[in-house]
Homo-oligomer: A and B are copies of this chain.
Amino acid sequence: MPGIASNRVAPPLYQRQPRVRPRSEAKRARIVEAATQHFAEHGYHDARVGDIATALGIAKGSIFQHFGSKDGLFFEVYKRAVRSFSKYLDVPAEVRQEGFFAVLRYWLASTEHLVHEDWIPYRISLLGNYGTDLVLKREINRFLISEDPYGTVSFVRFGLERGELRDDLDIEMMVSIIDWMVERFQDALLTAELDPGLFRRQGELAEKKEARIQQFLAMLQRAIGVPPPAAVSRQKSRSNHRR
């Protein structure tokens, strides 16, 4: 897969700063923009690099010069799409004050709304997660780990600091669990519209969505949340949590 790793040239031998080359950057951006559209509409395999070039009125070779390969182009498209998403903690202050699980509920509940507003980046992310190939998928995972674009790590720290998450679990594991579960849950909600039949029985999911979100959150809370103080000495909630 040529081009995916690094498509920057070797450093200049003497002075001569390349000087940002505004033309080139602008063009890359235009290409990524158009490619996003095409990938989102046709999927990875059925998107044609030639079509993207035609749509932009440029030569196909030009795209390869900038991105090296179709994979390389898609990788840029994917990164841009994923970076456009909000991070977990980017919520209204009052939601954040309510705590970890309130934040989670906020996002699950607004998923549908967000996707209606702009479905394209979601589709791209779906393609990156399931619709290309293992080599690209590995690259994507490296990216997700190194950039943490959803801010899951700091979100989990937030939950830990507030004493809402168990401290006897690996932080790595909690991050993974959140990423996995939320991703799949959102996929299931979303693909009901974008890709009917992609995940398990989303048919009824649409109706029971509210209930599902509640169930899902309650489950997650039991799984990784601090156990409720109750049962022994009723009252006084959080003051005596260990650590």
Contact = CB atoms under 8 A, between A and B. Distances in A.
Given A138-B198, A145-B201, A179-B200, A169 B215 contact: yes
A179 B141 CA distance: 21
5 closest residue pairs by CB, A with B: A223-B223, A231-B231, A131-B134, A222-B222, A219-B223
Interface in A56-108: none
Nearest to A181: B180
Contact of A130 (B45, B134, B172, B232): B134
Q: Pick from A127, A144, A181 the residue with the most CB of B within 10 Å.
A: A181
Interface residues of A, number: 51
Given A179-B200, A199-B141, A231-B232, A173 B215 contact: yes
Interface of A: 43-45, 126-127, 129-135, 137-138, 141-142, 144-145, 169-170, 172-173, 175-177, 179-181, 184, 188, 195, 197-201, 204, 208, 212, 215-216, 219-220, 222-224, 227, 231-232, 234, 238
A145 B204 CA distance: 15
A97 to B, nearest CB: 26
A44 B44 CA distance: 15
Contact of A177 (B141, B219, B227, B231): B219
